Structure 1
Amino acid sequence: MDWNLNLKRLMGEATQLVRSGQLADATRAIQQTLGAAVARHSNEPTPASAGATPLQAPSPAGDEAPRWRSAAAAQDVEDAVVIDRSAPTPQAEPKAPTAPRPAANNHPLAEPPGSFTRVVFTHADARRHPHHYHLYVPPGATAGTPMPLVLMLHGCTQNPVDFATGTGMNDAAAPANALVLYPEQPHSANPNGCWNWFRPGDQHRGSGEPALLVAMLQDVMARHPVDAQRVYVAGLSAGGAMAALLGREYPELFAAVGVHSGLQAGAAHNVMGALSAMKNGAKPSAVTHHAADAPSLAPPPMIVFHGDADTTVHAHNGEQLIEATLSALATAPDGGQTTVETVHQGQSRGGQSYTRKVYTVAGSALSASTLHSTVVAEQWVLHGAGHAWAGGHAGGSHTDPRGVAATQEMLRFFLEHPRAARD
């Protein structure tokens, strides 16, 4: 059955159930339809650019488990070492080191340089225990030298190793001497491994998943020398939607935000709203503002990638992300800023055409040496691309190897925007 027709039928049935007071049945009907859609996409042959569906609303626990990448698929990422810091066991050394390496810092439980480690993490306010994250420490990490840190949020049906493999962010981060943190969403929190970007309890600072993710970030910062002016967050699909939320709720923490195939912060507040936003974009009435206790600061600069042939998350969502950032800048309490749009057309090495829109602060100098400090947003519209990480590695899920190098462009944008440059 055509998905649009199926969605229309679903919304009608769910509406009738809600009107009759059968809220649980309405939710179950939506979840079952989504589960069927996921199975359909999994069984249909699709081009690499189309991807599968890494962003879904929650499905019943009895649904088929998400497809995790095999060890062979993740062969380009160093085997992870699990560290449980609640136990007195000494940490493992990096795999087959060729020469002695200095410790990243003097903390006895800091992961060593050149490692990609799965860490057991406990947090007093977390609803589920324990949680895990993967941390990449670059080979050049040395004691006392602050490093940039990139928080990477995977999409639905993915895990940190899969996401690291597909994006290639570890390899890109090594020359920049940057740490990369990959939180892992447990299936007890969402059966498809999605970040719950559409739930009100997970949309505000100091609570839910935003608080958990920031706690993981602070855990890394307590054990490694991190440059607090160069902390960034990026994500794909559901992870992109959560990255946008973190940027909105913690503008004093994140220097810049990257969203690939995601939605703007607060685009939905329930499953039905999530479905609507994914297919058509968020309704203006659905988007909420900062939490009452969030700092009154201008939003972090944002870079957005979105395929205009994305049938999972409509490309209008990418436009809304940019519009929300520019609108927030124009009304910022510390002085509104107007912007100028510059449009560039290009083509990736793999033959994918794109339109890149760069937004700079009006009246700023536009010389090559100063342009980066005036850019507040970039939008990359990937023509003919579906729901997949552009320029990603074929060994990871939901990637489009022929696309533009989203990882390199995102990291370039991040490093051009230390937080001090906009304070």
Structure 2
Amino acid sequence: MDEATRLTREGRLTEAMSVLQGALSRAHPSAPSPHPSGDAGQPPRGRPPRIIEMVAPSSKGGAWTSHTFDARNRAPDPSGGSAGTAGQHPVPEALRGLLDRMGEPGSRLGLDGLIGPVAARAPAPLPEGARFEGRSFANEAGSRAYKVYIPSGYTGEPVPLMVMLHGCTQSPDDFAAGTRMNELAEEQTFLVAYPAQAQSANMSKCWNWFNAADQQRGRGEPSLIAGITRQIMHDFSVVPGRIYVAGLSAGGAAAAIMGAAYPDLYAAVGVHSGLACGAARDVASAFAAMRQGSVSHHSGAGQPVPTIVFHGDRDTTVNPINGEQVMAQSKAGSDLRTKASRGQAPGGIHYTKTVAFDGSGHPMFEHWVLHGAGHAWSGGSPNGSYTEPRGPDASREMMRFFLEHAKPANEPRV
């Protein structure tokens, strides 16, 4: 089964079919056709992992079809098969079950320690005095549930606020567990908000970053996320100049949109394995952008918003060039000097960090390229989905960067 999985990921479907048929005929000589069963297992080193499906066929919902492409960046096939090379056949029905199992919750398919979807776990016990509350917000664009973490050290004095936007198929609880952001909030005393994408808005619970209507201030999903942010500011004591937004994958793309649409609200932005604001305007251009980067349809925020980017250079879901494009968009028009350095996380992942400084020597932008990492939150916990535990701690580095940036107290906000 491992060999069939590997061949399927590579688009070598005829060979995969032969492997399955041979294995099953040996186990059941009289069986007329193969019926894959059992766990797909862990792929050999050097093979591309299962992707996170970042977009659904329609933002209005509908049946989901899996899309795949391999490390050579072959295009995903909207029909649900492997595009592969010209003349290649669609995925045979006998392999459909195997492909479906690759996407099942509870699978642990991954690459070199990459942790994919895991079985649902009981929530971790909260520290004494801390709360993790479920709430909701509604406006003319609709409604969204969200959760907010209130650390035990919160006493009503103003504290920073971190808004975290999950990736496709994830939930606030899953994202909190994987990023360990609540643990960091408990340590450093700040609030964390986790807006939840509704399945009625996207069948895979992806933020609809690829829809033009969801890329604008005061409309669609940006208005809902900003509304949640403001509701928390009203209900709790928040330092107005210390509000930040970050996300993974589709959530990273949504975070880039929030920074561009609301530069007066968010003091800094974190984009992990995401895309620039306006990278796509529909589903077709979304897959093109994920595969090969894009020409953004958005010129930037108009004022530079400090931004930190993390992206694995072996990400086969969102081409790493998108991280470069997030940086280019964020600092458009800025006259900055840059400095690059290399390092290695305790878990073994090497990285290159490029910092861009303003005229006074203050760091305005950081771009972390994670060598050998795929599409997952760096330094995350295996208790959540889509994490790379061996990488540098993206949550801690983001908060370190964020807390270096605060908006002036006299800056107008809406």
Partner of 1:67: 105
2:372 aligned with 1:411, yes or no? no
- Counterpart CA distance in 2 for 1:189 and 1:314 is 25
Contact kept, 8 Å, 1:200 with 1:269, in 2: the verdict is yes
SS at match of 1:382: strand
SS at match of 2:226: helix
Partner of 2:69: none
SS at match of 1:161: helix
1:395 to 345, 367, 383: 383
1:114 to 117, 130, 146: 130
1:1-20 equivalence runs, <5 A: none
Superposed CA deviations along residues 332-366 of structure 1, whole A, max 9, x for unmatched, are xxxxx41011011000001110000000013x24x
The letter of the residue matching 2:121 is A
Partner of 2:22: none
TM-fit CA distance, 1:54: 3.3
2:141 to 90, 105, 126: 126
Q: When the two structures are superposed, what TM-score results if normalisation uses the length of structure 1?
A: 0.72
Partner of 1:100: none
Partner of 2:327: 322
5+ residue gaps, structure 2, are 1-6, 13-38, 65-99, 107-116
- Counterpart CA distance in 2 for 1:217 and 1:76 is 25
SS at match of 2:204: coil
SS at match of 2:337: strand
SS at match of 1:321: helix
- Cα 1:76/1:345, change in 2 over 3 Å: same
- Counterpart CA distance in 1 for 2:44 and 2:152 is 36
2:255 aligned with 1:243, yes or no? yes
- Counterpart CA distance in 2 for 1:175 and 1:48 is 36
- Cα 1:72/1:386, change in 2 over 3 Å: same
SS at match of 1:175: helix
Superposed CA deviations along residues 252-299 of structure 1, whole A, max 9, x for unmatched, are 0000000000000000000010000000001x2x42236xxxxx7512
The letter of the residue matching 1:305 is F
1:258-273 equivalence runs, <5 A: 258-273=270-285
- Cα 1:355/1:5, change in 2 over 3 Å: same
Partner of 2:177: 165
Superposed CA deviations along residues 195-238 of structure 1, whole A, max 9, x for unmatched, are 00000110100000000111111111111001110000000000
1:194-209 equivalence runs, <5 A: 194-209=206-221
- Counterpart CA distance in 2 for 1:193 and 1:396 is 16
Partner of 2:311: 306
- Cα 1:227/1:273, change in 2 over 3 Å: same
1:174 to 164, 186, 198: 186
Superposed CA deviations along residues 159-217 of structure 1, whole A, max 9, x for unmatched, are 00000000000001122210000000010000000000000110100000000111111
Q: Provide the aligned C-alpha RMSD in A.
A: 2.7
Contact kept, 8 Å, 2:211 with 2:281, in 1: the verdict is yes
SS at match of 1:338: coil
Partner of 2:227: 215
2:362 aligned with 1:346, yes or no? no
The letter of the residue matching 2:170 is Q
The letter of the residue matching 1:350 is G
- Cα 1:278/1:297, change in 2 over 3 Å: closer
The letter of the residue matching 1:344 is S
2:303 aligned with 1:288, yes or no? no
1:136 to 149, 152, 157: 149
Partner of 2:373: 385
Partner of 1:87: none
- Counterpart CA distance in 2 for 1:74 and 1:343 is 41
- Counterpart CA distance in 2 for 1:48 and 1:412 is 33
- Cα 1:422/1:162, change in 2 over 3 Å: farther
Superposed CA deviations along residues 354-389 of structure 1, whole A, max 9, x for unmatched, are 000000013x24xxxxxxxx1110000000000000
Q: Identity of paired residues, percent? A: 43
TM-fit CA distance, 1:43: 5.3
The letter of the residue matching 1:142 is T
SS at match of 1:420: coil
Q: When the two structures are superposed, what TM-score results if normalisation uses the length of structure 2?
A: 0.73
5+ residue gaps, structure 1, are 7-41, 79-94, 98-112, 291-295, 331-336, 366-373
Contact kept, 8 Å, 2:180 with 2:380, in 1: the verdict is yes
TM-fit CA distance, 1:146: 0.6
SS at match of 2:139: coil
- Counterpart CA distance in 2 for 1:401 and 1:386 is 11
Partner of 1:54: 52
- Counterpart CA distance in 1 for 2:56 and 2:189 is 37
SS at match of 2:205: coil
Contact kept, 8 Å, 2:51 with 2:316, in 1: the verdict is no
- Counterpart CA distance in 1 for 2:154 and 2:237 is 9
Number of residue pairs matched by the alignment? 328
- Counterpart CA distance in 2 for 1:158 and 1:413 is 25
Contact kept, 8 Å, 2:241 with 2:406, in 1: the verdict is yes
- Cα 1:172/1:414, change in 2 over 3 Å: same
- Cα 1:72/1:238, change in 2 over 3 Å: closer
Superposed CA deviations along residues 15-58 of structure 1, whole A, max 9, x for unmatched, are xxxxxxxxxxxxxxxxxxxxxxxxxxx95735899764335211
Contact kept, 8 Å, 1:243 with 1:257, in 2: the verdict is yes
The letter of the residue matching 1:375 is P
Contact kept, 8 Å, 2:137 with 2:228, in 1: the verdict is no
Contact kept, 8 Å, 1:77 with 1:164, in 2: the verdict is no
